[in-house]
């Protein structure tokens, strides 16, 4: 799994290793549950921006993406992606329970780099809770209501929040090793 924020800024090369550009944006579709493509800033001046379909991404590395040689196209060449602004990005949305309790704010999207599916969203609560318990991974299913600027969850879905990080888990791991 990879965070979208880790992909932005990555160098993009073709299959021969020639630099093409840098990832400017990852186009995610919440309703389709997957990544549609990326926009990239081209290396050569005057070439502008390009869109690459997700299916044309051959490999994810830690520092770069390898794409099919014929991959970069203009926005107009990608009708099934639509306009990049239509990517349904919900980063920054407030997350609430059905009874009005605030869970936090969506800070990032987590994707499966092999499949391109959206695995979940990183939720940030208050600073103290994030430090102690770590940020939460929210896996959205189709029952969540997504409105303008907020996501409303059923109370049942609160149990599906995973919290893999934080000082609390770090201390538990250290105690288990001793």
Question: Which pLDDT tens digit goes with each residue over 116-146?
Answer: 888 888 888 766 665 666 677 887 765 578 8
Question: Do 99 and 57 share a structural domain?
Answer: no
Instruction: Please name which of 157, 172, 38, 58 lies closest in space to residue 109, comparing C-alpha atoms.
Output: 38
Question: Which pLDDT tens digit goes with each residue over 32-49?
Answer: 788 888 888 877 665 667
Domain membership of residue 127 as a residue range: 94-177
Question: Do 156 and 133 share a structural domain?
Answer: yes
- Which of the two residues, 31 and 4, has the higher pLDDT score? 4
Question: Do 117 and 148 share a structural domain?
Answer: yes
Which of the listed residues 25, 60, 86 is the one where a domain comes to its end?
86
Question: Where residue 28 sits, what CATH number does that domain have?
Answer: 2.30.30.240
Q: Is 138 within 8 Å of 95 (Cβ atoms)?
A: yes
pTM for the predicted model, two decimal places: 0.74
């Amino acid at each position: 799994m990879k965070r979208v924020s880790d992909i932005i800024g990555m160098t993009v090369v073709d299959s021969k290793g020639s630099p093409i550009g840098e990832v400017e944006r990852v186009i995610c579709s919440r309703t389709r549950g997957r990544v549609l493509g990326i926009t990239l800033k081209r290396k050569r001046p005057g070439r502008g921006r390009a869109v690459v379909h997700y299916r044309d991404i051959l490999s994810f590395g830690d520092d770069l993406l390898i794409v099919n040689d014929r991959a970069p196209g203009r926005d107009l060449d990608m009708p099934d992606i639509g306009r990049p602004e239509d990517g349904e990005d919900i980063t920054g949305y407030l997350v609430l329970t059905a009874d009005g309790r605030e869970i936090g704010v969506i800070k990032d999207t987590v994707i499966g780099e092999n499949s391109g599916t959206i695995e979940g969203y990183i939720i940030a609560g208050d600073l103290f809770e994030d430090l102690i318990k770590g940020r939460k991974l929210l896996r959205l299913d189709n029952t969540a209501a997504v409105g303008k600027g907020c996501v409303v969850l059923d109370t049942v879905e609160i149990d599906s929040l995973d919290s893999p990080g934080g000082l609390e888990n770090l201390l538990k791991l250290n105690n288990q090793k001793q």
